[in-house]
């Protein structure tokens, strides 16, 4: 058998068909890939905000200084814009707070904007927030 009978040559028209099919599928694949990447960035932003709130609450249970709590949150929430910390030592109706056993709540919020313009137009920017609540273990306010 000759090489021609075993492996027939491709017709010239099939190359154009493959190119058209690829051109139709490529935008869909790119949108899916960029959507997965933006979703991963959103999960990373939530993890950073959650870790920041937890770290701020850990500092707040032993040091009720809002500046120290904000510094702890900022050290955990690296790379996020406009992180705000709400420090509230008066969640209990007891007027003697802050004292041992009173609850402290640290809330961290940031605005997330998807990197892909198409997905940003579909989803838009949204707020990523996390709250951590712990009881005071020691009353101390650093200078």
Residue 95 CA: distances (Å) to CA of 91, 98, 138? 10, 8, 17
Q: Render pLDDT for 67-82 as a digit per residue (tens, 0 to 9).
A: 888 888 888 877 666 6
Average pLDDT in the chain? 80
State the pTM of this model: 0.73
Residues with Cβ within 8 Å of residue 64, at least 6 apart in sequence: 87, 89, 98, 104, 136, 139, 140, 141
Q: How confident is the model at residue 117 (pLDDT cuts 50, 70, 90)?
A: confident
Q: Give SS3 for 127.
A: strand
> What radius of gyration do the chain's Cα atoms show?
27
45 Cβ contact partners less than 8 Å away, ≥ 6 residues apart: 80, 110, 112, 128
């Amino acid at each position: 058998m000759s090489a021609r009978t075993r492996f027939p040559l491709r017709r010239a028209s099939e190359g154009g068909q493959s190119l058209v099919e690829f051109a139709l599928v490529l935008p869909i694949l790119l949108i899916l890939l960029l959507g997965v990447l933006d979703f991963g960035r959103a999960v990373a932003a939530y993890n950073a905000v959650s870790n920041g709130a937890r770290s701020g609450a850990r500092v707040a249970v032993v040091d009720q200084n809002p500046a120290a709590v904000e510094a702890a949150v900022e050290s955990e929430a690296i790379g996020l814009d406009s992180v705000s910390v709400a420090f509230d030592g008066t969640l209990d109706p007891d007027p003697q707070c802050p004292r041992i056993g009173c609850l402290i709540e640290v809330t961290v919020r940031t605005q997330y904007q998807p990197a892909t313009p198409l997905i940003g137009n579909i989803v838009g920017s949204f707020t990523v927030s996390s709250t951590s609540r712990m009881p005071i273990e020691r009353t101390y306010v650093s200078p």
